[in-house]
Amino acid sequence: MLLSREHASAPARHPIILVTDAWHPQVNGVVHTWSYIQRELDRLGHELHVIHPAGSRGVRVPGEPDLLLSTEPTRHLKRLLGPRMPAALHIATEGPLSWAARAIDSLRFAPGPRDALDLPRPILLYAGRVAPEKNVEAFAALDLPGSRVVVGDGPELGRLRARYPQVHWLGGQPHNSLAPYYRAADAFVFPSRTDTFGLVMLEAMACGCPVAAYPVTGPIDVVTPGISGALDEDLRRACLQALQLSRSQVRTAAIRRSWTEIARDLLSMLVPIEARVA
């Protein structure tokens, strides 16, 4: 939800407030995306203040030690927001906006040497959390030529590593170390059916790596079939189709818009607030 009482082109006299349950030290696409947007809004002369669960009474999610859920959300929000009326208020959820799914860092994620993975080709890669909602097992279970590689950590890693020893499980890697893996891969596989965000797909595409995924919310907003990837209810078939695509066309499709343009889009979407937020 996006609310504003000032025209988007006017200088910000009050901060833009982002309310999100996903923030540092969590490592996921939402946190990365809003960190980039915060940087770009600052460059454009606007302030983005983030209200997140830190400092609130809360509970840790079992199996997700970095995820804190506030048990006093209204009180916490009022305490941090105070009596001021922000220029804009955005409430973010997992996969917050369709436009955000099109955002990439085309400087860090770009084509380059493809030697980070010394494995038989074709190399099919998944990068992200190894958690139930990511449906990584659907990828691990596929009968595909070449090599399957999983970069990431999470509560499902131990079970899946034991069940699918033929998959190369590389464990968690820092976000700024992912680009060489995207470049080395011949296709990036996004097996989730419920994750509506999928920043990793854009990062892979920016490196020239085509995406294979199910035709569901998230991938259908990001992937152009036959150009930047392949979407199919048969994930194996999508993988084989993605391997046939031009890496240069994939890269071109991914860099149509920059983070700065996305931040400007955010400002242009602000609409008048009709009443004070309760």
Query: What is the pLDDT, as a whole number, of residue 37?
Result: 79
Query: What is the pLDDT, as a whole number, of residue 18?
Result: 74
Question: Which secondary structure element, helix H or strand E, spans residue 88, and what is its range?
Answer: strand 88-91
User: 61 is written with which tokens?
Assistant: 């999610």
- Which of 12-16, 185-189, 218-222, 228-232 comes out lowest in average pLDDT? 12-16
Residues 6+ apart with CB under 8 A from 81: 17, 51
- Which of 95-99, 131-135, 160-164, 193-197 comes out lowest in average pLDDT? 95-99
Query: What is the pLDDT, as a whole number, of residue 9?
Result: 43
pLDDT > 50? residue 221? yes
Binned at pLDDT 50, 70 and 90, residue 10 comes out as very low
In the CATH hierarchy, which fold is given to the domain comprising 123-254?
A: Rossmann fold (3.40.50)
Number of other residues whose CB lies within 10 A of the CB of residue 232: 17
Query: What is the pLDDT, as a whole number, of residue 44?
Result: 80
Looking at every residue in the chain, the average pLDDT score rounds to: 80
The residue that leads in pLDDT, 221 or 133, is: 133
Query: What is the pLDDT, as a whole number, of residue 101?
Result: 29
Once rounded to an integer, what is the mean pLDDT over residues 107-126?
Answer: 94
The residue that leads in pLDDT, 10 or 233, is: 233
Do domains 2-103+258-268 and 123-254 share one topology? The answer is yes
pLDDT > 50? residue 102? no
The residue that leads in pLDDT, 233 or 274, is: 233
User: 224 is written with which tokens?
Assistant: 């152009």
DSSP per-residue string spanning 211-246: EEE-SSTTHHHH--BTTTEEE-SSHHHHHHHHTTS-
Once rounded to an integer, what is the mean pLDDT over residues 164-188?
Answer: 95
Report yes or no: 272 and 5 within 8 Å, Cβ to Cβ: yes
Question: What span, in angstroms and rounded, lies between the C-alpha atoms of 95 and 80?
Answer: 24
Q: What's the CATH code, domain 2-103+258-268?
A: 3.40.50
Report yes or no: 198 and 94 within 8 Å, Cβ to Cβ: no
Once rounded to an integer, what is the mean pLDDT over residues 65-79?
Answer: 68
Binned at pLDDT 50, 70 and 90, residue 264 comes out as confident
Q: Where are the domains of the chain?
A: 2-103+258-268, 123-254
Q: Indicate the pairing of strand 168-171 with strand 229-231.
A: unpaired
pLDDT > 50? residue 65? yes
Binned at pLDDT 50, 70 and 90, residue 140 comes out as very high
Question: What pTM does this model have?
Answer: 0.64
pLDDT > 80? residue 19? no
- Which of 195-199, 202-206, 218-222, 274-278 comes out lowest in average pLDDT? 274-278
Question: Which secondary structure element, helix H or strand E, spans residue 252, and what is its range?
Answer: helix 247-254
Burial of 244 (0-12, 13-18, 19+ CB in 10 A): exposed
The residue that leads in pLDDT, 260 or 190, is: 190
The residue that leads in pLDDT, 99 or 81, is: 81
- Which of 14-23, 103-112, 261-270 comes out lowest in average pLDDT? 261-270
Binned at pLDDT 50, 70 and 90, residue 134 comes out as very high
User: 182 is written with which tokens?
Assistant: 């995207």
